[in-house]
Each structure stands twice: as structure tokens, then as C-alpha cells.
Amino acid sequence: MIFERNITVIDGVKVGIHKREGETLYGEIILLGGRAFDPPGKEGVSNLMASLFYRGCGKTSYEEIIEKLEGMGASLNVSASSEAITVSFWTMKRFADETINILVDCLLNPEFSSEELEKEVERSITELKRNWDIPEAAASMIFSKKVFEPHPYSRQENRRSLRAIQRKDLIAKKEEVFRRNRAVAVLSGAHDDHMGAVTRIISALNEGGKRPYLQEPGLKGEQRIYFYLKEDAEQTQLRMGHPSFPRKFPFYEAAIIFNYILGGGGFSSRLMERVRAKGGLTYSIRSSFSPMLFGGLFSISTFTRPETTALMVEEIIAEINLTLERGVSDEEVKKAQGYFLGHFPLGLETPSQVGSLLSGMLYYDLEDDYPERFLERIKELSASKVNDVARNLIKPESFTIVAVGSRVAMEELKKIGKISLVEPE
């Protein structure tokens, strides 16, 4: 066993505990119910709830919470993703109970003051405007919406939806999401009573409620091209890809081995070799699989000069098609296997690293012995198996292509096909 762990169920919540000698403790709760579940017209309520979560809890002000946490050298973080709300904390063993007291108070009694909400809405709108002005941020934002549209994974806040959110919406979202049938919980590190501590945290979650479900997003029938015009852009930011598999995909290991070879392995990847080393079209390109609970994403991220925008897209698709047609080699697979076999244990050196892996195992309903099984499955892969899996996963003819750049880049991209212009929201 790579690390000791106890996986159990407490009051309907899947719990993972990793006991370790030392002076630090990490805790994490993942709750199903992120941005994909925001009500129509109130997109952004998950992000606002996360941002305001511990800005005043019960009788304790935000300033007092920050002072207590800083005095203990502890941290408390809340974030919203497409699918989930994640609450995590880090603390010294001697301050664990005090830190958990703050967490429990915020789980039970978040203030969500109207004054703080108004400030956060304006801050979020300012950030949104700034993202539309930054080509890299705008490209990623547009792509994450267009690649999934009209699936709930495409939901994003805009200025109108943010200003429509009221305090009662935050309270309703919190009451809806913070329930035991949506939660997994993890404690990793040093504590005298791990079970007692995690039970205290779970007791602050509500019972009942309906656990939501999403259909897996499907592929589009043809390529779709979107362009956002930034007249002063010196480079064209490109994002390409399509919906892909969920995290519990049975051939996950084969997929990530193929991706490492194609575009995830840095300077050794095929895409990097073609468009940078040989083509001189960019300094950086990367492909990735990003699986979630109900679906996932295959994406490629890069940039190029305005006058080579069309050529870059053509070269990327040509290399993907060539790799799928001819397959990857045994030598390439062995190199990728070596990377994962060597780096996986290195990512489990701290309580927070182990805790994050454990919470992911529970949230995605992976095997209790997943770390060991992961390494075994990586070792067993052959080039033939990797190629068979990849040919069923990547479909360039169904790509969503997003570009942000100048008018020169826009005219270039028209050589690929019909484009749809995007305007800020």
C-alpha cells in the first residue's frame, strides 16, 4: 500500500482518513453542486457563495475569523468548480480543534451579508471585464462555454446574472448543496481523534434533499469556429477540443498515456515537436483530458502569430489525425509510463496532497485501492491498447475552435471555415 488509509461511511457521507505522524492536518469536503447547477438567470451564485462563505459566521466577523486563522498559521478555503463546491483547511495539530470550530461555525451560520454581497458582485464584474480584455483569459472563458453549449457545464456568470443575485439566493444555494448525500470528507495528517473530528464536521451538514444528476455532454456533429476580435492583440490565442469522458472511464490510464505523447509531455510531445521545433509556429502548446463526474473535456491550448493562425489550426489537426492513424510506438508508451510511475508517488508527500487524492477517489467513486491499481494499470498498458482507446476518444471533425486575436487573424481563420463572432457578456 502506497499510504495507509481508512475509507468508511459516517452518517451517509463517504469519509477518507489518512493518519500520519507530524504537526499538520489537512481537511477537505467536496459537495456536488457547482456552477452547472446554478439557476438560469442567476449564473454565478456558486462562485459568490464560495467567495463570501466565511466573511462573517454566526457572531464572529470576517476580520475576527482572519485574525484567528492568521494567529494559528491556519487557512480556510472555499471554491466553486463546474460541478462542485470544495471546502478545505490546513492547520497545525495543536490548533486543529480551534480551526475545526471556525469551519463548523461557518458551515452552520454563514452570514452572507448584503453589504459584502454587493461588494463582491462589483468586484466580480470588474474581474469579468478584465478577463474580456486579456486574450488568454478571454479565450479560455469563451472556449469553456462554447465547447459544452447548451449543456449545463457551459454555464458562466455575466454582468446581468451577477447583479440579479440576492442574499436569499446565496442562502438557498447553501441549503441546497451542503447536504450529506452530496458530500465526501477527508482528514489527512496528525490528530488525536480523526474520527471524532470528521464526525463533528459532518454533523454541520444537512440531511435529506435530492442528489442531482447530469447527462453526459455529447459531441457536436461538425467543427464550430468562434472568434473574438481584439484589434491590438499581438498573438492569436487558440483553444480547440470537444467534450470527453467522465473520471470513472475504464480506460483512463490509456487516455492519459496517449495524451502525454500527443501534447501533454512538454517538449517531448508530438504537437510540440511539429508546431514549435519544426514549424516555429509557437513557443508553447499543450493538450489535456479534464474528466469530471458526469463528463469531461479534451482540449488543446496554444498561441501563434496572427498571420499563421490558419496554418496553426491545420497543423494541429494534421498531427492529431496522423497520430491516430499511425498510432504511438512502444518506445513512446514506455517513456510515458516512466513519467507517471515516477511522478505519481512524488505527488503524495504531504498531508494535503494525500488528502486531495483521497477526496477525489471518494468523489469520483474510484476503488479503495485506486493508487495501487493506477500504477498496475499503467504498467500493463501496451501501445496497441493505447491506440485503440485513443481512436475512440478524439474526433477532430467535432472540434470547437476558439480564437482571440486581431483582424488579420480573423481573416486567416476564415480560410478554415465559417466563423461566428463573439461579443462580451
Please give the DSSP secondary-structure letter assigned to residue 166: -
pLDDT tens digit string along 85-133?
999 999 999 999 999 999 999 999 999 999 999 999 999 999 999 999 9
Reported as a pLDDT band with limits 50, 70 and 90, residue 377 is: very high
Give mean pLDDT, residues 10-19: 96
CATH homologous superfamily, domain 224-421: Metalloenzyme, LuxS/M16 peptidase-like (3.30.830.10)
Q: What are the residue boundaries of the structural domains of the chain, listed by start?
A: 6-202, 224-421
DSSP 124-150: HHHHHHHHHHSHHHHHHHHHHHHTTTT
**C-alpha torsion 149→153→157→161, nearest 10:** 80
Phi then psi dihedrals of residue 139, to 5 deg? -60, -45
d(C-alpha 168, C-alpha 151), whole Å: 26
C-alpha cell at 132: 474580456
Q: Residue 96's closest CA among 239, 197, 217, 15?
A: 197
Angle at 194 between CA 188 and CA 199, to 5 degrees: 110
Burial of 135 (0-12, 13-18, 19+ CB in 10 A): buried
Q: Which CATH architecture has domain 6-202?
A: 2-Layer Sandwich (3.30)
Give the β-pairing of 183-189 and 24-32. antiparallel
Q: What is the pLDDT of residues 20-78, one digit of tens each?
A: 999 999 999 999 999 999 999 999 999 999 999 999 998 899 999 999 999 999 999 99
In order, the DSSP letters of 54-86 are: TSSBTTB-HHHHHHHHHHHT-EEEEEE-SSEEE
User: CB under 8 Å to 401, separation ≥6 — which residues?
Assistant: 223, 224, 225, 226, 238, 239, 240, 313, 413, 416
Overall average pLDDT of the 229-252 stretch: 96
Q: How far is CA 249 from CA 80, 262, 274, 341, 375, in A?
A: 23, 19, 30, 20, 16
The answer to whether 354 and 28 are in contact (CB under 8 A) is no
pLDDT tens track for 206-215: 998 889 999 9
What one-character-per-residue DSSP string does 37-57 give?
GSPTT-TTHHHHHHHTTTSSB
Domains 6-202 and 224-421 share a fold: yes
Averaged pLDDT, 330-352: 94
- CA pseudo-torsion sign 143, 146, 150, 155: positive
Q: Which residue has the higher pLDDT, 267 or 39?
A: 39
Per-residue model confidence (pLDDT) at position 181: 95
C-alpha cell at 41: 438567470
Q: How far apart are CA 144 and CA 159, in angstroms?
A: 18
Nearest of 31, 404, 310 to residue 181 by alpha carbon: 31
d(CA 167, CA 116): 10
